[in-house]
A and B are shown apart, each in its own frame.
Chain A
Amino acid sequence: GQQVMQIPQYQHVQEGEDFTTYCNSSTTLSNIQWYKQRPGGHPVFLIQLVKSGEVKKQKRLTFQFGEAKKNSSLHITATQTTDVGTYFCAPGGSTLGRLYFGRGTQLTVWP
């Protein structure tokens, strides 16, 4: 399948600090999606990136797709306790599409 590596696996930050998770692929991706799963919840779609070098913002969240379309990042500015959860990236575009997710980055935010 179309595999991606996601780092770090865990991140603990104090409220107000920034957070970044990275998603790396050995192959060129057509697009990439990001999902968030709150503790005890299910993954929820956040965003899809399609274009090389694309940057999208959602309030304090900034998503970036690399120029070579082999990597992506999610950056959260000034984390809040509501940001707690696991963030997954999911590659798309091949026959297998989005079926294989990254392992996720589990974010803990200390008040």
Chain B
Amino acid sequence: KAGVTQTPRYLIKTRGQQVTLSCSPISGHRSVSWYQQTPGQGLQFLFEYFSETQRNKGNFPGRFSGRQFSNSRSEMNVSTLELGDSALYLCASSLAQGANGELFFGEGSRLTVL
């Protein structure tokens, strides 16, 4: 059974640009959650999608957005990048909504903003 796949694994952007990250969950998993991880802040919840609908949202500005497709694949977008957006972005899939089940994480997309 394939795990959670995130692309790209690494990317470098400059301030003001925008970026789109992709996540393919484990087959059969309908819940996809996104997290931002930085050394100082740990795992910060961004948002969760279930059945193509955003179910929960963390405390991040509107520059952070996402969506989920009918095949459960999800994308997140960050517009007008700032230096502080440099982080590891992790996607996690789960069978249950609200991430009440075990979370399966991808390897992450490491974003560097220059």
Contact = CB atoms under 8 A, between A and B. Distances in A.
A88 interface: yes
Contacts of B108: 42
B105 A42 contact: yes
Nearest to B43: A101
Interface in A68-110: 88, 90, 92-104
B107 A43 contact: no
Contact of B90 (A43, A96, A97, A102): A43
A1 B96 contact: no
A111 interface: no
Given A1-B45, A88-B43, A101-B43, A96 B56 contact: yes
Contacts of A98: 94, 98-101, 103
Size category of the A interface is 20 to 34
B104 A45 contact: yes
A99 B99 contact: yes
Contacts of A104: 42-43
A43 B103 contact: yes
Interface in B82-114: 90, 92, 94, 96-108
Interface of B: 33, 35, 41-43, 45, 48, 56, 58, 90, 92, 94, 96-108
Interface of A: 1, 33, 35, 41-45, 48, 88, 90, 92-104
What 4 A-B pairs are tightest by C-beta distance, nearest first? A97-B98, A97-B100, A98-B99, A103-B42
8 contacts: A1-B45, A42-B90, A97-B97, A97-B100, A98-B94, A99-B58, A99-B99, A101-B42
